Amino acid sequence: MSTLQSLNGSPFLLGFLFNHEQVRNMSRVKRRNTHPGYWLPLKNVQKKDDKISADNLRFVREVIQDKYKNKSPLKGSELQIEKTEWDPKTKRSGVIARNIGRQQMWDKAGNKIVCTVLHVLDNHVIRYIPPEEYVKTSRGAIHFKNKTPLGCLVVGAEATNPEKFTRQYCNLFSEVGLLPKKTLSRFIITPNAALPPCTPITAGHFLVGQAVDVYGKTIDHGFQGVVKRWGFKGGPASHGATKFHRRGGTIGTGRDKARVWPGTKMPGHMGSERRYNRGLMIMRINMKYNVIYVKGTVPGATNSMVRIFDTLLPLRKLKEAPPHPTYFPPEEGTQKEEDIWDSSLHVYGSPSISV
């Protein structure tokens, strides 16, 4: 018996299979989590009822200082890294940055350019997982199903006091010898872009004029109605309208559609979504303060954490070799310029009119 005969001419099922004009705006699957997964190690120290005396607290801090004083991150010139050639298929690591606001800049023609200022915090490599090991993990098995497996680089940012974290979380950094980081992130890389632990990653990892992708979480607006969430016009303000000023109206009735279609625009949770902004151009890099200026806006509010990495857009990918696998200060001691501007920008302090 064929599939159509087994449906017994059901108009609902036939319409569902052959109606190609259906639009799916939303998913019924939960798309956001407001708390970390149960499989992650407990990060924050739980509140304790017993109070520690001043002498014991002083002793604990002395032990922490003795433990970490001789374990500092290695400099780039001291690392033993195998030199590899960069090719267009190379997938490098990204960096973790904090969105510290927006700033206006101008090009040489006088046009205003709004840029987002991203501060690259003290990024260090925590661990490198080879492709043969990462593909065996639960996440790697899903990500590289029927694909060529790649490696995974764990990067941490913004070191802080170990007293604020649990022992399970601090053990993640025991092999590396670094202070615990507030933020951890994974970056999928090719094996030729691998970095050893303790490697610092700075703003020099990118080039001025390069296109990058920025990944972050959007602003959380909470539960909102259809006017703010979807931009509905709403009902009339007067002429007999009662309690219908900001409502959405009907959500589906009728003989053939006596149900609510999946994806119907309705009130609900707005924001707090993981989003990408792709193809943003780097207009300026400050090497002294590790600050990157990107053209346009990025997901998230001010003071939120974002991830920056090379763009995936085919027409904006790198055509020349960037610092590979990352930027290291040269051995002769010469440094890059403190402030690198794009050639199309007007540099502050330079004359704006030439005769």
Selection from 19, 26, 29, 21 nearest residue 265 by Cα? 26
Selection from 296, 310, 334 nearest residue 207 by Cα? 310
The per-residue pLDDT for 200 is 92
| Residue 9 predicted with pLDDT over 80 | no
Return the bridge partners of 129, or none: 152
The per-residue pLDDT for 130 is 92
Mean predicted confidence (pLDDT) in 208-232: 95
CA angle, 106 as apex, 103 and 110 as ends, to 5°? 150
Higher-pLDDT residue of 44 and 189 is 189
pLDDT of 42-100, one tens digit each? 777 766 656 778 888 788 778 877 776 655 454 443 445 566 788 989 999 999 999 99
- High-pLDDT (> 90) share of the chain, %: 51
| Residue 155 predicted with pLDDT over 90 | yes
Q: What are the structure tokens assigned to 185, written together?
A: 């992130």
pLDDT of 246-283, one tens digit each? 999 988 777 777 888 888 899 999 999 999 999 999 99
pLDDT of 273-296, one tens digit each? 999 999 999 999 999 999 999 999
DSSP, collapsed to helix, strand or coil, labels residue 42 as coil
Provide Rg for the chain, Cα atoms: 26
Give the range among 27-36, 203-212, 219-228 with minimum mean pLDDT.
27-36
**DSSP summary character for residue 238:** S
Structural domains for the chain: 100-120+202-224+274-315 (2.40.30.10), 121-198 (3.30.160.810)
Alpha helices in 74-200 (DSSP H): 131-134, 138-143, 167-170
Residue 133: pLDDT band with limits 50, 70, 90? very high
